[in-house]
Structure 1
């Protein structure tokens, strides 16, 4: 393809679009005109400038993986106040750039707040990514900027917004965490984000656990994809993970209503940095498909000790993964999932004789090609109190993306009471009728375990065009009960 022509072709985002029917470009977190197509055909996100927010033209443009105008990654996923986080950034052509740090939250409807701005920084063209057996890594990039996180910063989900002098823009998400007790711990699914990352989306070298390219620039499927991916690289496209908006939808809603939230990411859970006894509930707000053995062990122990679990998506804990150090020895920078390839044990939890349903109460059933209504079941249950939802009512568009259901031949977790709160027919890609289900059970410890069984739950909390007041109320009923230990 011509060097100047960016094909919005078989990109990772488009390849996976079927699993995210809420398509709002890379970043549905600030209000106003949420997306704008720049002169390259790339989506330019929200805050680029007030003119763009009103639908005007001009202003910053979104960087891409072909020209690499500005791209970067962070040395770690989560950092505590008082610690430093390193950013490794490439700029082409070399020029000055700046970094604006935003924190995601409600902020009177804005959705994020600018916390600080870097000085003007010198930008260089970093070396080409290294590739080995389809694993792409930029661990050899020079340090561009070190951010010392002040001790007074609020914990939360943050985004570094990179902007070149000539107006190109990219993003790096990161988390600020601490270990103080809170009612709820929000776990950002950074392991799943990386599994889907096709950087560089250039038609040649990029690879995820789903896709890679052949020498003619054709997108290949899972059988030819990477088995190991690196965290030492930017996210493809505008620099934000696929499905990142699902977590941000929950954060905006929960902070608006004053829930006491702590923050961590999936690698914190994996590495043993999460003490579940400090929290009344663990919340998994978005698509959280890839789990390591330590992640599952910690979460099952949390449930058995009385910490509630809230899963607000579908297809959770489907693949078993391993994390290993980078070539320089930094822990948990490489993610490996063999899928169905090569010797050794299978990588699906349910094929290792540890089905997800034994933790979640339901498990992954398949994709939902077109959104369908969620059909309310057991409307007299407290989850549906004050929602106005009646038995058999249909909540439009709430079964979307992917769906879970109860598998009768798979063992349920030990429980005191277990109930299905939705039973919703939908048509799969073969036009066969399937059913989505939403599950809640109380473990012997008293912990509640909720699984929404659909991708559409978090967007229904605060995504423009997808808000459902009944889902907002039901979620509040659940979290209020967990926080009060009812």
Structure 2
């Protein structure tokens, strides 16, 4: 397969479509007079879908990793107001590009708000990425632009949208965090995002913790993938992480209803830049599969201090990882996970005798090839109050992507009370019947710990075509109780 034939949907996005049917989700800055169409000819509103990824008509053209029309990454994943963030960008052919900064939020249904447009920046062709043992790094790229974040900017999830003069577009996500008190701390899973990043998806160089390429440009599996990946590189394809949509779905919904949110990312949690005990609850809004030892220790301490935990996806805290400095000494720039390869301890939390269930109350059970209904259990519980959901009711499509369940032979965390709020049959890839479960327990500290056990929970809050008012109300019941410390 020649380089020119490598396309986004033939690599990372396709490989993970079965595990994340929701993917990147709506991109509000693509809204406009253009229409987007799916494979059946149906109009798709403001989506970056497979048609768009394949170069379909409508809107700006998405950059790719073969021609590298425009690609970039940020010097750090999160900054505080008053700090600076550097963007490293390559442009081919060399030309000027614009840099528009958007903040994710509800914004009367728009989904994001443009904060600033920078003066045009001169773009250059940066050096080829450096590779060593399948680790790809672009730390040799020159700085293209520096953004001094004003003190008055609101904290939140941001995206830098890069557009060349000839109409190619790419993205750089980043977070503006702050230490001001808030009811809830939202943690963006940038460590898991990077684990899935196959940049560059060029049929030759790129590697993630899941995939790499052979000499003929064929996509290889986990046994041949990288064991260390770098944060100093763009995200593959259009520049947004594969699973970013889950977090953005929750943010739009939560900001619409006025929840008091602070923002940080997983590396902030790892490095101790945020104190979770200052908040009434921690929100993990999306697929959050890769956790370091300091992350877990800090979150367990927060729970034991009385801070509630809300896990809105499935397959959380599955792999244990380590973060290390870049060759230049910048901290937390390299992410390592041996999976089951090489010497040393296994990398699954459950195989180092610390199963996820001991924090979450449930743990990963497997993939869900086709969406199934979520079956309500214990409908008289306050979580389901005023949702209209009755015992045994089926919420269509709410078990999807991946699923968690309770493992009876695995120890539960210490708890004052515990309840399962869904018990949903689904068929796995072999056709066998499995079960998904949704869990809630109250720790001895009084903290509530909720785990949805499915990928479909956050999309049901604010994803066009996936909204479920019962999930919206149940989530509000949970967060309201946490914010009131009931």
TM-score by length of 2: 0.95
Distance in 2 separating the partners of 1:287 and 1:276: 20
Higher alpha-carbon deviation: 334-343 or 4-13: 4-13
Report the Cα offset of residue 7 of structure 1: 3.5
In the alignment, the residues of structure 2 paired with residue 217 and residue 295 of structure 1 have an alpha-carbon distance, to the nearest angstrom, of 36
SS in 2 for 1:440: strand
| Distance change in 2, residues 1:284/1:215 (3 Å) | same
Q: Which residue of 2 aligns with 1:338?
A: 338
Shift of 1:387: 0.1
Pair 31,449 (structure 1): closer, same or farther in 2 beyond 3 Å: farther
Cα distance, 1:10 vs structure 2: 2.6
Using the alignment, how far apart are the partners of 1:169 and 1:41 within structure 2? 24
Structure 1 residue 421 displacement after superposition: 0.2
| Distance in 2 between residues matched to 1:239 and 1:477, nearest whole Å | 35
Take 2:192 and 2:287, find their aligned partners in 1: how far apart are those partners? Answer: 7
Name the CA shift for 1:24/1:288 in 2 (closer, same or farther; >3 Å).
closer
- Cα 1:276–1:263 change in 2 (3 A) is same
* Change over 3 Å in CA distance of 1:198–1:65 after alignment to 2: same
C-alpha distance in structure 2 between counterparts of 1:223 and 1:41, whole Å: 38
Distance 1:106 1:436, change over 3 A: same
Q: SS in structure 1 opposite 2:239? A: coil
Q: Is the 8 A contact 1:49 1:59 kept in 2?
A: no
Deviation track 1:358-406 (CA, whole Å, cap 9, x = no partner) reads 0000000000000000000000000000000000000000000000000
Q: Is the 8 A contact 1:8 1:42 kept in 2?
A: no
- Which residue of structure 2 lines up, in the alignment, with residue 227 of structure 1? 227
User: In structure 1, what is the Cα distance between the partners aligned to 2:208 and 2:24?
Assistant: 22
- 1:31-84 per-position Cα deviation (integer Å, ceiling 9, x unaligned): 679984799999999499999999995542100000000000000000000000
1:301 aligns to 2:301 (yes or no): yes
* Contact persistence 1:27–1:244 (CA under 8 A): no
Q: Could you say if the C-alpha distance between residues 291 and 55 of structure 1 is closer, same or farther in structure 2, counting changes exceeding 3 Å? A: closer
Give the Å deviation of 1:23.
5.2
| C-alpha distance after superposition, 1:96-120 (max 9, x if no partner) | 0010000000000000000001111
- Secondary structure (helix, strand or coil) at the match of 1:411 reads coil
Contact 2:267 / 2:332 at 8 angstroms: preserved in 1? yes
Pair 295,56 (structure 1): closer, same or farther in 2 beyond 3 Å: closer
- Count matched residues: 486
> Residue by residue, what CA displacement relative to the aligned partner does 1:206-245 show, whole Å, maximum 9, x if unpaired?
0000000100111100000000000000000000001100
CA 45–168 in structure 1, closer or farther in 2 if over 3 Å, else same: farther
Select between 40-49 and 167-176 the one with higher mean Cα deviation: 40-49
Relative to 1, partners in 2 of residues 1:30 and 1:95: Cα closer, same or farther, differing over 3 Å?
closer
Distance 1:468 1:148, change over 3 A: same
Instruction: Return structure 1 stretches of 4+ with deviation > 6 angstroms.
Output: 28-35, 37-45, 47-56
Note the C-alpha offset of 1:29: 8.3
Q: 1:440 to 1:52 in 2, by over 3 A?
A: closer
Deviation of the 1:302 alpha carbon: 0.2
Check whether the contact 1:69–1:93 (CA below 8 A) recurs between aligned residues.
yes
Q: 1:406 to 1:4 in 2, by over 3 A?
A: closer
Secondary structure (helix, strand or coil) at the match of 1:245 reads helix
The alignment yields a C-alpha RMSD, in angstroms, of: 3.1
Give the C-alpha shift of residue 24 in structure 1.
6.2
Structure 1 SS opposite 2:351: helix
Unpaired stretches in structure 2, ≥5 consecutive residues: none
1:400 aligns with 2:400: yes
What's the CA shift for 1:11?
1.1
